[in-house]
Chain A
Amino acid sequence: MKQEFTVTVYTENQIGLLNRIAIMFSRRKINIESLNTSPSEVEGIHRFTIVINELEEVVKKLVRQIEKQVEVLKAYYNTAEEIIWQELALYKVPTDEIAEKVKVERLLREYGARAVVIRKDYTVFETTGQREETNKLIAVLEPYGLIEFVRSARVAIIKASSGFHSKLKEFEKKEPSEDVIENEYLGKGDEVFTM
């Protein structure tokens, strides 16, 4: 059965890499539900967080193919239960409506919303949370003339480990090698053969 997987990819920060990774999905006719790229805790190494709905068997093979790419350091996948994840959402609503009809205080408290901008014509709220939480606030605000809504891609951190160095060790331990070998070039930014 298809289910939601979060794929995390550690890469060198290089032009064209987004395309190289994106086509791994499109070639197999897999839709990317959400994609985020950001720096990681290691200098010069970027991190992609990609959400897809697929069979685990397919995801497993896909992740190996992604990891094969020259500029990819590590790729792995997790189910929603194995990760801590958040999305950020922004909501633009007419200020007069919202100020008159809604108890803004209730909004802020119940939904963990924050007013980012308050203007005469509109107010922008922000929430951070999982999909259902950010969705709830849409439902609340819609009757009051929600002008605009946007949600960010997912960012996720795995529950089980502490950081990239030890995470890498952990994965190396599983496969393909039993011996734990740390990437000897990882911490040596100035000796890195890269471009």
Chain B
Amino acid sequence: MSTIEKAPAKEKTDKKPAITNVSGSVAVLEAFLAEGVNTIFGYPGGAIMPIYDALYDYQEKLHHILVRHEQGAIHAAQGYARSSGDVGVVFATSGPGATNLVTGLADAMIDSTPVVCITGQVFAHLLGTDAFQETDVINITTPVTKWNYQVTDATEIPAVLAKAFYIARSGRPGPVLIDITKNAQLQKFDYEGYTKCDHVRSYRPAPIVRKEYITEAAKLINEAERPFVIFGQGVILGKAEKEFLKFIEKAGIPTAWTIMGLSAIPSDHPLNVGMLGMHGNYGPNVLTNECDVLIAIGMRFDDRVTGRLDKYAKQAKVIHLDIDPAEVDKNVKTTVPVWGDCKETLPLLTAQVEQKVYPQWLQKFRDMMKQEEETCITPELNPTTEQLTMGEVIKTLNELTGGDAIIVTDVGQHQMVACRYAKFTQSKSNITSGGLGTMGFALPAAIGAKVGAPERTTVAIIGDGGFQMTLQELGTIMQSDIDVKILILNNQFLGMVRQWQQLFHDKRYSFVNIESPDFVQLAKAYKIPGQSISKRDDLKKALTEMLNTKGAYLLEVMTGKENNVFPMVPQGCSVAEIRLK
């Protein structure tokens, strides 16, 4: 640590004299203030009590939201990070408090969400003694954190937290966990102020841009006859939405998104041809195998996007823009890798591409969309069935919000339907558990999303199964008075698993028949108003009431029990083999 004290040589002039007798706990909170944190999601406990004691005096500067389970805290922090574009912050105690964070850490890791978690730990002298609520959180969380570190001495705290925030938010973002032993939280030391971290010797947040690859990429694009852009969350994380639009508009290339990239460009953009992947749109999937140049931007070729890899875009030359060099060639062999932050690389590429349009090629996407509309979309959005479909709920919601709401989804059929049909006018509006597929994500994530963007309407769309995984967070909504609209799409099944059992397991419905409590009564117990509807005639009125109610509201919509999500790329099939029914 002696090295750190010498580090900010350039700031020696305005260095304040050390403040003596500052506790490690206060140093943690001071670090938060210096990093611009104003909200913490957390849950107290024995090993983190000194920090909570210090927090008592910081309540005006640091808004603490008491969750009902640590998993709720980290999902809320993820939602906060995703809607605000800043780092989400979590407090949890040692042992079970820390292990309850693991699902959220894994979710944040795979979806590259910047989160800093502070966990309490037993006194340093008790480490390894199986002390009460001791768990080896550093080793448990190593595979699911971008970085983690255990602090046993308070003097380390300012530098460690500076490093934690720097690592969480720079480069490809990710979760960081700092475990602080109780003695370090209590220890008084000479506090010399907080210096933000701007480099770590062994860490390069973004690779250096190779200009000749940009030229090569531009050449490929300019020579292409059927170029196709596919993008992911990298565009949002890189805050490069404008740069991205400029690129596709100049190059005139049809553009499709992964669910993590959704909302980065407006839904009604003329070049937006839809969603990729297993339940994506027909055209983007089929035409992936017909384009001649595939330009992948800030996405990682997840198996849910590519389907069978050995039959994925084999005819195409692939240009891959990514900040993480390890993503290049990981799943799909790249012709031209464009390393770097896309906020930096996209303008360089835009400058070298020719202004073009591809009317015939774009028409192909539109023709296929027409086919899809006839077979899948119209029956879903304008159904003739007696029972409601999930799609028409989303369609009506679009009409009422105008696409301005933040939509937080859980995992399953409702998630796919919402991502397919929800309309967006601005970025950072689609929040979902993409990579990990964490059921129970939506309710706590919506709490965080609302806190991160308080001026925006936030709707959590959740299935009846996922809601029951984290419904205790209704208590958080009640206590902290969080204006989240909860829209439960209840098909009385674990619908996505049921769909697979129907299609691939001879309708052997093995343990997917889930019973639910009376959700409206449940909400009422938490002082949240709500209603349940099952008729088409009530839909618009009920959604309007939900949106117009001040504060939280729970609307349960009963939907068709055995509806399926289509199109679908069955597992083990190529994207070109996508089924419309």
Q: How far is the CA of A11 from the CA of B203 in the complex (A)?
A: 10
**Residue B163 lies at the interface, judged by CB distance under 8 Å to chain A:** yes
Selected contact of A61 from candidates B1, B139, B324, B330, CB within 8 Å? B330
Selected contact of A70 from candidates B1, B143, B167, B325, CB within 8 Å? B167
B contact residues around A73 at 8 Å (CB) = 201-202
A15 (CB) vs chain B CBs: closest residue: B150
Q: How far is the CA of A67 from the CA of B204 in the complex (A)?
A: 10
Q: Is the CB of A70 within 8 A of B208?
A: no
Selected contact of A192 from candidates B3, B212, B330, CB within 8 Å? B3
Q: How far is the CA of A11 from the CA of B197 in the complex (A)?
A: 19
**Residue B373 lies at the interface, judged by CB distance under 8 Å to chain A:** no
Contacting residues of chain B (1-45) with chain A, CB-CB under 8 angstroms: 1, 3-4, 6-7, 9
Q: How far is the CA of A176 from the CA of B148 in the complex (A)?
A: 26
Q: How far is the CA of A192 from the CA of B210 in the complex (A)?
A: 27
Q: Is the CB of A191 within 8 A of B6?
A: yes
Contacting residues of chain A (149-195) with chain B, CB-CB under 8 angstroms: 175-179, 181, 183, 185-186, 189-195
Q: Is the CB of A68 within 8 A of B324?
A: yes
Q: Is the CB of B163 within 8 A of A177?
A: no
Q: Using an 8 Å CB-CB cutoff, how does the interface string of A4-40 with B read, 1 for contact, 0 for none?
A: 0000000110011001100100010000000000000
A contact residues around B207 at 8 Å (CB) = 176-177
Q: Is the CB of A193 within 8 A of B159?
A: yes
A contact residues around B7 at 8 Å (CB) = 191-193
B contact residues around A195 at 8 Å (CB) = 1, 4, 149, 156, 159-160, 163
Q: Is the CB of A193 within 8 A of B330?
A: no
A157 to chain B, nearest CB (A): 21
**Residue A65 lies at the interface, judged by CB distance under 8 Å to chain B:** yes
B contact residues around A70 at 8 Å (CB) = 146-147, 167, 200, 202-203
Q: How far is the CA of A191 from the CA of B552 in the complex (A)?
A: 51
Q: How far is the CA of A64 from the CA of B331 in the complex (A)?
A: 13
- Assess A23 versus B208: contact at CB under 8 Å? Given A65-B326, A194-B200: no
B contact residues around A189 at 8 Å (CB) = 3
Contacting residues of chain B (325-374) with chain A, CB-CB under 8 angstroms: 325-326, 329-330, 337, 339
A contact residues around B149 at 8 Å (CB) = 16, 195
Q: Is the CB of B201 within 8 A of A23?
A: no
B207 (CB) vs chain A CBs: closest residue: A176
**Residue A71 lies at the interface, judged by CB distance under 8 Å to chain B:** yes
Contact residue range for chain A? 20 to 34
Selected contact of B201 from candidates A61, A177, A181, A193, CB within 8 Å? A193
**Residue B142 lies at the interface, judged by CB distance under 8 Å to chain A:** yes
B176 (CB) vs chain A CBs: closest residue: A70
Give chain B's interface secondary structure class. Answer: mixed
**Residue A146 lies at the interface, judged by CB distance under 8 Å to chain B:** no
A contact residues around B542 at 8 Å (CB) = none
B325 (CB) vs chain A CBs: closest residue: A176
Selected contact of B138 from candidates A16, A27, A61, A194, CB within 8 Å? A16
B82 to chain A, nearest CB (A): 22
**Residue A72 lies at the interface, judged by CB distance under 8 Å to chain B:** yes
Selected contact of A12 from candidates B139, B202, B326, B339, CB within 8 Å? B202
Q: Is the CB of A194 within 8 A of B202?
A: yes
Q: Using an 8 Å CB-CB cutoff, how does the interface string of B192-214 with A read, 1 for contact, 0 for none?
A: 00000101111100011111100
B202 (CB) vs chain A CBs: closest residue: A73
Q: How far is the CA of A191 from the CA of B325 in the complex (A)?
A: 27
Q: Using an 8 Å CB-CB cutoff, how does the interface string of A54-93 with B read, 1 for contact, 0 for none?
A: 0000001100110110111100000000000000000000
Contacting residues of chain B (144-167) with chain A, CB-CB under 8 angstroms: 146-150, 156, 159-160, 163, 167
Q: Is the CB of B202 within 8 A of A20?
A: no
Q: Is the CB of B325 within 8 A of A64?
A: yes
**What would be 30 A-B contacts, judged by CB atoms less than 8 Å apart?**
A16-B149, A16-B150, A19-B142, A20-B142, A27-B143, A61-B326, A68-B325, A68-B326, A70-B146, A70-B147, A73-B201, A175-B325, A176-B207, A176-B337, A176-B339, A179-B208, A185-B199, A189-B3, A190-B3, A191-B9, A192-B3, A192-B201, A193-B7, A193-B199, A193-B201, A194-B3, A194-B200, A194-B202, A195-B149, A195-B159
Give 5 new A-B contacts, CB below 8 A, not counting A67-B326, A70-B202, A176-B339: A12-B202, A16-B149, A64-B325, A193-B200, A195-B160
The 8 A-B pairs with the shortest beta carbon distances in the complex, nearest first, are A177-B208, A176-B207, A64-B326, A176-B339, A185-B201, A73-B202, A70-B147, A70-B203
